[in-house]
Amino acid sequence: VADSCAVAVATSAAGGRQVLLVGESFGATLALAVADKLSRVLLPGQQRGGVRGVVLVNPATSYRRSTLAKIGPLCASLAGPLLAPLYALSLVAVAALVLTPAYQAPSFLSTVAAQKATELNNNPYREAFVGRVAMGATLGLSGPRLDIGPLLAIQVFSPEELGFRLSRWLEYGADLLERRSVVKELRLPMLAVVGDLDRLLPSVDEAARLREACDPAFWRGTVTVQGAGHASTLGNRVDLLDEIRNAFAADFEPPLSPRVDLVGRGERPGDGGDGWERGLLDRTYPALDPADYTELNRGGSRYPFPEEGEGEGEGEGEGE
């Protein structure tokens, strides 16, 4: 997987594209493996080779020292029809470590009940855009493809699949990076983003360990997201794009410019407190019908903002 990703990144970089590698959990392990492959094999001797940095979100490089490493293999050992009920219960226990119900439950329910909106989705057009992308809708189409049911379907790993991912992804990946001293040897800027309530992996401690291993010249800091567990760090509780701009602006050529506020955050900022409402604001528009998402998007009949050069070609905006 790392080799395939590295080839894709090297191809993009060779075409002049600037790349920032971002990975969450095992994805952070993978991002480091890709960066290592690029620096050692595909782009050796090149100054970063178009890769501008690495963002590590709750990195699974800590797997060997994690709660998951203790309970995960036990769950995976519960194979067979007779142990299936125990296996299901064990997954519930793992989910309890992944989630932070005290923060996530009221946030989710208030959003579903159309009482709150996230800071980014603070107008109907933005929400429709995000909804359209999330549901894979195409312009002008409504019907079964806009049904949210399949999106909420839970895919349950079998014990065998879980065991494979634990041993051949998480364990192998963490061990490989440790053996090669990748964080110490890598000459790329790094930023850690961790949830302070991550109970699945010791993410706060791992960020400190990675900071110690990394060359100080390349460490761009640690963002600790208050009230975030393993699966909710990149929700409404942190603005990842803002953190990336703050950390890596000078590493791009030309430097990243200040963000243009396209969604009116200055006028309607989300809650900045420490409770479950962090990143949310009171909803001021009615709940949207998913069947109307495409019409509220660029090119739709209810999209109110004229485009520059509108009418020059059919389907303009379908790829937005």
- For the whole model, what pTM was predicted? 0.83
How far apart CA 59 and CA 49 sit, in angstroms, is 24
How far apart CA 23 and CA 33 sit, in angstroms, is 11
Q: Are 313 and 151 in contact (CB under 8 A)?
A: no
Q: What is the pLDDT of residue 255?
A: 92
Q: What is the pLDDT of residue 46?
A: 55
Q: What is the pLDDT of residue 139?
A: 43
Q: How far is CA 139 from the centre of its chain?
A: 26
Q: What is the pLDDT of residue 288?
A: 87
Q: Which DSSP category does 143 fall into?
A: S
- Strand-by-strand arrangement of the 19-24 sheet: 19-24, 51-57, 190-195, 219-225
For residue 294, CA distances in Å to 29, 257, 263, 308 come to 37, 31, 18, 20
| Ordered mean pLDDT values, 10 residues apiece, the chain (320 residues) | 90 88 97 92 62 96 97 96 94 89 90 87 85 60 48 72 96 97 95 96 98 97 95 89 93 87 78 89 87 82 68 38
Q: What is the pLDDT of residue 306?
A: 66
Q: What is the pLDDT of residue 299?
A: 81
- DSSP E strands, the chain: 19-24, 51-57, 116-118, 190-195, 219-225, 280-282
For residue 78, CA distances in Å to 25, 96, 174 come to 24, 18, 24
Q: Label residue 162 exposed, middle or buried (CB < 10 Å: 0-12, 13-18, 19+).
A: buried
For residue 8, CA distances in Å to 1, 5, 17, 19, 193 come to 11, 5, 11, 11, 25
Residue-by-residue DSSP string for 266-284: TTSPPB-SSSTTBTEEE--
Q: Label residue 199 exposed, middle or buried (CB < 10 Å: 0-12, 13-18, 19+).
A: middle
How far apart CA 172 and CA 163 sit, in angstroms, is 12
Query: Which two three-digit tokens encode residue 183?
Result: 């964080």
